[in-house]
Structure 1
Amino acid sequence: MAIYADRFWEIDCLRGLAVLLMLFYHYLYDLDFFKLVDVQIRSGFILYAGRFSALLFILISGVALSISHSRALNKESAGNISENFSKYLKRGIKLYLMGLLLTGITWIFLPEEYIVFGILHFFGVSAILVYPFLRYGKENLFFSLFFGLIGLHIKNITFGFSSLLWLGFTPENFSTLDYFPVFPWFGVLLAGVFLGNFLYSGGKRQFELPYTEKNPLIRLFSRTGQHSLLIYFIHQPLFLGLLFLSGLLNLNML
């Protein structure tokens, strides 16, 4: 869910882990949502697995953006065409439109909790917002804390308007299936940019790894991570289709 050039297998592997945790969480969420199984989705290990999956996705996205930007700077210094804002704008619009499609689908089938500003909306907006921050190094740690702390502060406060919902200012009685506002989640992405600048300075790995991508398990996770956006977009229809085919779910339950 990010802009990147040549891949580092460890990043794809971590993204694959995030995908598997997401699948685990969303499948159990569906079972609980349709009251097929009482799995206490809003507390305990299952909730933390879902949150950790999202955090990992966003953190890795920041790392990948940092690597892509560093490589673009290297090409620029070598006399090649310089990086420009349009790449981030196009990526952001694409992701945001995909998020709007999910908004429309959930509005039709689940109007009481349809997705307003979910993780795809967030990735779309943040792909654009991150552009000026990519030029910074250690400063992104401060910016990360700024967005994170403000987000945590306003998290449990409600407001009498909804126009700034995308930032994290939630109105009263707000309910949605998926919500990732700029505050605090953009702070997580900037933490990823900071880590990318530190661990992959100049777009090159700055550390040694004890394993190689030839390991079958690592290869499986890496392949999964390489298709994270596609998997994210189609996994819920597949889950619901499986529940319909199994007879556990019917149209009257939607």
Structure 2
Amino acid sequence: MQKNRYLEIDFVRGIAIILMVISNFVTDLKYFLGYSENLLFWSIFALFVASMFIFISGVSFNISFSKKVASNNLNYKNYFIRFTKLFTIAILITIITGSFLTSGTIYFGIIHFLAISGIFGIIFYRFKKMNLFFAFIFLIIGFLFNGNVLDTPYLLIFGIMPRNFYTLDYFPIFPWFGIYLLGMNFSEKYYKNGVSRYSFEIFKNKFFNKICFLGQNTLFIYIIHQPILVGLLILKYGIFSKIAL
């Protein structure tokens, strides 16, 4: 278990990545096998899981950034490196889904979003508790943009889609950065200067530690889980009709 971490944050992130794997597996079943049962439930489930994951990402970012500011150890180069790493992975996801799937290319999925949010987070950090106000602005604009279409792909990042647009993973800045800001605002209240107001000794329990371990490796799990799930579906059902060969 890594030191100098808040295990409760790792635990929630661990639960979030488990739920995300489940949600994405249902998406795979729908895409490859035409699964159509309880779709309303699974749509709500997917929104909940994504919100949970993005919220805790905002919390984590604010804690990390606050610690560096408080210790006078802030190095923007590290954030640029993180952005570069995440965005490189995101571009590879776009290339792979565009090359190997017959439809549903991921142009701005959750990894694209988290890469951009890490930069936006630096900008919005200075607003502290005001981020609660900005969060609702992003959410409201996202609601207003929902369903709007323009015949250009260049506004996808903002939540405005071209006609007949279909993708397997889509997290535009509006409204999702609003959820990220809610996480930052929560952190500002309960982890002032990156220091927790509470102690959660229960998360040192062996069972919770295992979940925390998953929470500390969410990026790796996210990268490998879809190839594994799709590989299992190929072995079991074929599903070659949705794969561009």
C-alpha distance in 1, partners of 2:156/2:29?
28
Match of 2:136 in 1: 145
Residue of structure 1 aligned with 2:240, choices 222, 228, 251: 251
The two structures have a TM-score, normalised by structure 2, of 0.92
Please say if residues 28 and 39 of structure 1, whose CA atoms lie closer than 8 Å, have aligned partners that are also in contact.
Answer: no
Q: Do structure 1's residue 65 and structure 2's residue 61 form an aligned pair?
A: yes
Partner Cα separation in structure 1 for residue 125 and residue 106 of structure 2: 29
Secondary structure at the aligned position of 2:204 is classed as coil
Of 10, 13, 16, the match for 1:12: 10
Where does residue 100 of structure 2 map in the other structure? 109
Contact 1:168/1:181, CA 8 A, preserved across alignment = yes
Q: Name the SS of the counterpart of 1:212 in structure 2.
A: helix
Match of 2:52 among 36, 49, 56: 56
Give 1:56 deviation, angstroms.
Answer: 1.2
Contact 2:138 2:178 in 1 (8 A): yes
Asked whether the equivalents of residues 90 and 111 of structure 2 are also in contact (C-alpha less than 8 Å), the reply is yes
- The yes-or-no answer on 1:199 pairing with 2:190 is yes
Letter in 1 for 2:44: Y
Q: Using a 3 Å threshold, how does the CA distance of structure 1 residues 153 and 253 change in structure 2: closer, same or farther?
A: closer
- The CA distance in 1 between the partners of 2:76 and 2:138, in whole Å, is 22
Structure 1, unpaired ranges of 5+:
77-81
- SS at the partner of 2:106? coil
- Aligned-pair distance for 1:51? 1.5
Question: Which structure 2 residues correspond to residues 101-250 of structure 1 after superposition, within 5 A?
Answer: 101-209=92-200, 212-245=202-235, 247-250=236-239
* CA–CA separation in structure 1 for the residues paired with 2:226 and 2:132: 35
What residue identity is the alignment partner of 1:225? G
Separation (CA, whole Å) in 1 of partners of 2:16 and 2:84:
23
User: Are residues 86 and 49 of structure 1, via their aligned partners in 2, closer, same or farther at CA, if it must alter by over 3 Å?
Assistant: same
Q: How many residues are aligned here? A: 242
User: Which deviations, in whole Å up to 9, do the C-alpha atoms of 1:145-167 show, x marking residues without a partner?
Assistant: 11111011111111232212111
SS in structure 1 at match of 2:51: helix
Q: Which runs of 4+ in 1 moved over 6 A?
A: none
For the 8 Å contact 2:16–2:53, the answer to whether it is kept is: yes
What's 1:88 paired with?
Answer: 79
Q: 1:234/1:72 Cα in 2 relative to 1: closer, same or farther (>3 Å)?
A: same
Equivalent AA in structure 2 for residue 23 of structure 1: V
Maintained 8 Å contact 1:32/1:39: no
Write the distance in 2 (CA, Å) between the matches of 1:228 and 1:214: 19
1: CA distance, partners of 2:78 / 2:124 = 15
Q: CA RMSD in A?
A: 1.9
TM-score (normalizing by structure 1):
0.89
- From the two aligned structures, give the one with the greater helix fraction: 2
Where does the alignment leave 5 or more consecutive residues of structure 2 unmatched?
Answer: none
